Amino acid sequence: MPVKNRFAELLPEITAWRRDLHENPEILFETHRTSAIVADKLKEFGCDEIVTGIGRTGVVGIIKGKSDKSGKVVGLRADMDALPIHEQTGLEYKSKTDGAMHACGHDGHTAMLLGAAKYLAETRNFDGTVVVIFQPAEEGGGGGREMCEDGMMDRWNIQEVYGMHNWPGHEVGSFAIRPGAFFAATDQFDITIEGLGGHAAKPHQTVDSVVVAAHVVTALQTIASRNADPVDQVVVSVTSIESSSKAFNVIAQRVQLKGTVRTMSKGMRDQAETRLKAICEGTAATFGATAEVTYYRGYPCMVNHEEQTEFAADVAKSVSGDCDDAPLVMGGEDFAFMLEERPGAYILVGNGDSADVHNPHYNFNDDAIPAGCSWWAEIVEKRMPAA
């Protein structure tokens, strides 16, 4: 079964929704307009239950199939938030809000899941229940985590969850997926190195925190090169160095470093955190300074479950004829929290030859809509076949 005809019919309507969302981007949990539109549309489609305010501005819709002999409940999740980027596409429907832009295609994700919800509420050609999940704050705010913390999975007895993201550079409407670890755990750190400031001509009377910081940055490279098993993935990037001295002739009392750690397994994540702290403290002590490390755990590694991944790939093949093997992605994905609570899978849908996500020239490709919507609908109709 290729792309469903109904989605070819609905394409102009879904595209109009998508472009309206694109024109009105909202960041993190501030998706008030978007959430209201989603809730209104779900109501208009005739969903059986619509609940707002899950995970602050998240929206959940329930669609019951023609029958419920299976007792199955499948969750389908889209993200709604935009990024703090100044759009440079020059599109007719470009962002009306300066400094906010749908540069990750979440406008497309929201529109595609709305399209699928409309079709599923019309046809109800399945045996079980669908929960459509619209989350805010995927871009660093942990909206998915907050929806889980609000008890979403248990409240609706969700048994499996599926997610989808567009993928620039991959043929439009074609799919790619991988089982197991897929997106990285994304952690952050702050390091404060405290030395002893003084006159730049009298270094012997100081503990130069800039020199200590330089050694720390260099030593941190050994987490990846000397501590990690070479077959494991780990990235440690120091992205900011700020000295307390702004003068050419004053040795700094203090230096502050910031950065990120990306890993693909719990073991590697724990090891990176332990080594980062030990290296900072040990290196600082070597030079008579101190280092204080604050390590923030962000999104966990997003792990696709084997069986659901195989199923998701089969559905993708039935929609677009093929499903490619996706590469590991060192970026983070908030859907990881949902996959920690329930088995499921996350798939990539090609966005064609576009600028990369998070780029001010990026745009979601509306030609991916029929394939994306069809994948959602087929996930439901194949996982919970009509009795």
Residues within the interface to Zn ion (CB under 5 A) = 104
Q: How far is the CB of 28 from Zn ion (least distance, A)?
A: 12
Between CA 156 and CA 303, with CA 128 as vertex, the angle to 5 degrees is 60
CB of residue 357 to Zn ion, shortest distance in Å: 5
Q: Rounded to the nearest 5 degrees, what angle is found at the Cα of 159, between the Cα atoms of 124 and 373? A: 45
Taking the C-alpha atoms of residue 109 and residue 115, their distance in angstroms, rounded to an integer, is 10
Residue 104 or 349 with smaller CB distance to Zn ion: 104
Query: To the nearest whole angstrom, how small is the minimum distance from the Cβ of residue 176 to Zn ion?
Result: 15
Which amino acid type is present at position 294? Answer: T
Is the Cβ–Cβ distance between 100 and 24 less than 8 Å?
A: no
**Among positive and negative, which fits the CA dihedral 88, 90, 93, 97?**
positive
Of 104 and 302, CB closest to Zn ion: 104
Residue with tokens 């490279």: 221
Classified as helix, coil or strand, 228 is coil
Are the C-beta atoms of 23 and 385 separated by less than 8 Å? Answer: no
State the minimum distance, in angstroms, from the CB of residue 78 to Zn ion.
10
> Least Å distance between CB 37 and Zn ion?
19
**Considering only CA atoms, which of 275, 269, 274 is closest in space to residue 298?**
269
Under DSSP, is residue 193 helix (H, G, I), strand (E, B) or coil? strand
Nearer to Zn ion, 27 or 104 (CB): 104
Q: In terms of DSSP H, where are the helices of the chain?
A: 5-23, 32-45, 106-123, 143-149, 152-155, 209-222, 266-286, 306-320, 336-341, 369-383
107/187 with CB nearer Zn ion: 107
| Residue among 115 and 168 whose Cβ is closer to Zn ion | 168
Min CB(3)–Zn ion separation in Å:
23
User: Residue 63 or residue 76: which is nearer to Zn ion going by CB?
Assistant: 76
Taking CB atoms, the residue at the shortest distance from Zn ion is: 104
Q: How far is the CB of 109 from Zn ion (least distance, A)?
A: 8
Give 147 or 289: the residue with its C-beta nearer to Zn ion. 147
Residue for token pair 């549309």: 41
Q: Give the nearer residue to Zn ion in terms of CB position, either 100 or 384.
A: 100
- The string of DSSP letters for 263-306 reads ESSHHHHHHHHHHHHHHHHHHHHHTT-EEEEEEEEEEPPEEE-H
Nearer to Zn ion, 39 or 104 (CB): 104
Give the nearest distance from C-beta 56 to Zn ion in angstroms: 18
CB of residue 47 to Zn ion, shortest distance in Å: 25
Rounded least distance, CB 14 to Zn ion, Å = 19
Tokens at residue 306, please? Answer: 């084997």
- The nearer residue to Zn ion, 120 or 302, going by C-beta atoms, is 302
Place of tokens 């609000």: 150
Residue 282: which residues within 8 A CB-CB, separation 6 or more?
Answer: none
Exposed / middle / buried, residue 382 (Cβ in 10 Å: 0-12, 13-18, 19+): middle
